[in-house]
Amino acid sequence: MSISNPTVPQTFNASTPLQLISGSVLNEYQLVYETYGQLNADKSNAILVCHALSGDHHVAGIDADGKTGWWDGYIGPGKVIDTDQFFVVCSNNLGGCRGSTGPTTINPQTGKVYGADFPIITCKDWVASQNELRKHLEIDQWAALVGGSMGGMQVMQWAIDYPNRLRHAVVIAAAPKLSAQNIAFNEVARRAIMSDPEFHEGRFLEHNTVPKSGLALARMLGHLTYLSDDMMGSKFGRELREDKLQYNFDVEFQVESYLRYQGEKFATKMNFDANTYLLMTKALDYFDPAADYGHDLSKALANAKAKFLVVSFTSDWRFSPQRSHEIVKALLDNDADVSYAEITSEHGHDAFLLPNAHYEGIFANYMQRVLDDIKTAEVAA
């Protein structure tokens, strides 16, 4: 079944307060989500896709603004995640800026936008709120949880916190926790935003402004870490913007022009909220499921019941294959059912979003397995 465009976001209004890991409580919140495909009669074909730092609920199809979903290449009729077979759900994370409750939402206690008052959110909180959405959709068990990068971390957290609520976990280009270097990059990005005078300690919307320049800087830096040195070399090399060297501080090389454009676009055209960016990077920093289990990832994953597909990309230096090995090893310590693929790609961390025959083949094969499990269960029932 083809996706009916434009896609229509739906809203789930949570009826129970959410106790956050930080100690704060969200008495009311909403999650915006999209769905594609048809939920089958016994509600066994539902897949939850979790998004990464700058992503949102619009993962496939074309929305009312004409925007294509961020993973549309992989989700749709006949695609890797086949909407002719699966019912696919994706929600905007709590703390986001695309419709789910976050820093740009009106705080019911003050009547003003939350801004800097929005509480710190962790991966566990996201998963807890997504579990409320699951109940609302009356889905007993997800056929699979799927996510790349920060999305993959949510998948891991689901497998640990709600082991009976998913049958398969697809963890792509992720890590079991951030390294010191990862945290350091996030911290530089946060400094860029917070030291922009337009930040106003996070109350910029009350001042009718946004820390555009800080946010653009943060995005330039983030984007840079998603790309590999080799890929940037083959895409831009040392190509000049003009015919010859200008010897001034304007943009000289194509790669500078590209990065500036990415930063500008994010801060202006995409209108991403700076507080959301801060919250998402913090949630990444805090993600460390092993911490609750004596810093032993194998123990953390001991209760997981899902079958796993773990995927990494050779040129990803943000979350390198080595980090995926840590996940695979911890799963094997528990004799878990785990498939692992290390995909050759020059596209760095971004590879998980891009076309790649080997990756698509392995991913599609695994989704067929997810489908077979559904059919076997139907026959058995």
Binding residues for a copy of itself restricted to 48-107, rule: CB under 8 A: none
Question: Does residue 171 interact with a copy of itself by CB under 8 A?
Answer: no
Q: Give the β-pairing of 30-36 and 46-50.
A: unpaired
Question: Does residue 314 interact with a copy of itself by CB under 8 A?
Answer: no
Sign of CA dihedral 102, 103, 107, 113: negative
Q: Note the helical H segments in the chain.
A: 123-136, 150-161, 180-194, 212-226, 229-235, 254-267, 274-286, 297-300, 321-333, 357-380
Q: Is 349 annotated in the active site?
A: yes
- Answer yes or no: is 219 a known binding residue: yes
Q: Is 149 annotated in the active site?
A: yes
User: Taking the CA atoms of the chain, what radius of gyration do you get in angstroms?
Assistant: 21
Of 83-91, 168-176, 281-289, 356-364, the segment contacting a copy of itself by CB under 8 A is 281-289
Closest CA to 90 of 171, 25, 40, 144: 144
Report the residue from 177, 307, 347, 349 that binds a copy of itself according to the rule CB under 8 A. 177
Q: Is 316 annotated in the active site?
A: yes
C-alpha 364/C-alpha 278 separation (Å) is: 34
Question: Does residue 250 interact with a copy of itself by CB under 8 A?
Answer: no
Report the residue from 39, 133, 221, 377 that binds a copy of itself according to the rule CB under 8 A. 221
Nearer to a copy of itself, 274 or 343 (CB): 274
Instruction: Report in angstroms how near the CB of residue 201 gets to a copy of itself at its nearest.
Output: 10
Nearer to a copy of itself, 94 or 374 (CB): 94
Which residues does 44 contact at the CB level (< 8 Å), separation at least 6? Answer: 141, 143, 374, 377, 378
Partners of residue 113 on adjacent β-strands: 106
Report the residue from 42, 84, 140, 187 that binds a copy of itself according to the rule CB under 8 A. 187
At 233, list the tokens.
């070399």
> Within 13 A of 232's CA, how many CA atoms are on the CB side?
18
Annotated binding site for substrate: 219, 350
**Active centre residues (catalytic):** 149, 316, 349
Binding stretches for a copy of itself (CB under 8 A): 21-23, 119-120, 177-181, 183-185, 187-188, 190-192, 194-197, 213-214, 216-217, 220-221, 224, 227-229, 232-233, 235-238, 245, 247-249, 252-253, 255-256, 259-260, 263, 278, 282, 285-286, 288, 317
